[in-house]
Chain A
């Protein structure tokens, strides 16, 4: 059985909300954070729209320097700000730099898809071209490490348990949540900061743009650009930000009287092994179904108990097939299909952070009894309408809706899948 695991803190830096309170208001109202980005136009990108959080309004920006955290890469900065908010939101004080006490029961797992691409491109590459590696100095190494967010943050919070970075493309955010969940469930940790971060940089977006998968049709209408489940969806949209959750052993949370957003009851992460149509850029449908079924089984429930689904749904031609896979898992157990929504319509695809931001959105919906709208799909794809009908799509916010079980999944490049099951906390 193991320990029960609850979410007691949230930290959010999303294109449509800076700080969790603003993000909550954003997802309830269907606010898009997607903008036209002149820099991408100037660089001849096909997709010239994207989303990024506005750091100027974040309350913790000023204190990063107190902990020796450089603000040279956006992935690192986003992760640190989100983690500080999650820690503070959990009701804990951020330790002062001089405090020598290490918490060996608390750890951190952060996902990032690409990492600190700005350092590689803007600092290392020009200095090597000038044959001046010495000028990189002593700090470049610690900033270019893909593990720099988790490493810097273990120092900020004096975390002595597991300190780990996960890189697993679009699935990494949920992978981090599941790894932290399992670590607490097994008793190896009491508290875990888990989540994901992805920076905002043309160097990060360029290889994606070159795949021609991001949309090129909405440069003059950015907020309508990301259209999960729509028949006019024409590709994903660049997103960036960070989401960090504070996971905690239930006994610890109850003992200190912490606010509990929701419980995490199960999860699964797997790969389709690049078979049955799976590849570096497409999933093996069999692997996806197995991941969803295993996660639901791990939660100790049957699919009919699921009240809402947070899909991966990136606004590509894969959306209808994803819906068909969800239906194949749920349909044998119930006639109707539960609500399904897509956060990416509002945020774009935040890659290594996307699953973490979606997990935060699920926690907020469970805690506040609502289903956020899935924007830009008024023209629902006919195949999706045929599979699950209009009634499963929250075109507007559904208020006063109690979600007992939320299924939340991400599928990533490399044929990797992750699904976490979250539920309303009941003693």
Chain B
């Protein structure tokens, strides 16, 4: 899976939880999920579940607590996928 594939899949998952779709269009990697994308903090666990399903990985509680930005998510997925290889 290429880096672009991973980014596109993560963006697709995030867009389900962003009310204002314009925000996802202008999002950059440093966008914070709750502050910039205005995602309800209770939805972050649902995003994590979707990511676990999509990439067939498991995200532990410690990693979940560190997720603040889109790039945090991308890095986490990349490292989990690398660990699977």
Q: How far is the CA of A138 from the CA of B33 in the complex (A)?
A: 15
Partner of A137 from B19, B20, B40, B46 at Cβ < 8 Å: B46
Residues of B at the A interface (CB closer than 8 Å) are 19-20, 40, 42-46, 49
Q: Which chain A positions have C-beta within 8 A of B43?
A: 138-139
Tell me if A59 counts as interface (CB < 8 A to partner B). Answer: no
Tell me if A126 counts as interface (CB < 8 A to partner B). Answer: no
A97 and B19 contact, CB distance less than 8 A = yes
- Cβ distance B61 to chain A, nearest Cβ, rounded Å: 9
Q: List 5 A-B contacts (CB under 8 A).
A: A68-B19, A97-B19, A138-B42, A139-B43, A142-B42
Q: How far is the CA of A139 from the CA of B40 in the complex (A)?
A: 11
Residues of A at the B interface (CB closer than 8 Å) are 68, 97-98, 134-135, 137-139, 141-142
Partner of B46 from A68, A97, A98, A139 at Cβ < 8 Å: A139
Q: Which chain A positions have C-beta within 8 A of B42?
A: 138-139, 141-142
A138 and B46 contact, CB distance less than 8 A = yes
Closest chain B residue, CB of each to CB of A134: B49
A138 and B19 contact, CB distance less than 8 A = no
Q: Which chain B positions have C-beta within 8 A of A98?
A: 20
- Cβ distance A76 to chain B, nearest Cβ, rounded Å: 16
Q: How far is the CA of A142 from the CA of B45 in the complex (A)?
A: 14
Q: How far is the CA of A135 from the CA of B40 in the complex (A)?
A: 18
Q: Which chain A positions have C-beta within 8 A of B19?
A: 68, 97
Q: How far is the CA of A141 from the CA of B45 in the complex (A)?
A: 12
Closest chain A residue, CB of each to CB of B61: A134
Q: How far is the CA of A142 from the CA of B46 in the complex (A)?
A: 13
Q: How far is the CA of A139 from the CA of B19 in the complex (A)?
A: 15
- Cβ distance A137 to chain B, nearest Cβ, rounded Å: 5
Q: Which chain A positions have C-beta within 8 A of B45?
A: 137-138
Q: Which chain A positions have C-beta within 8 A of B44?
A: 138
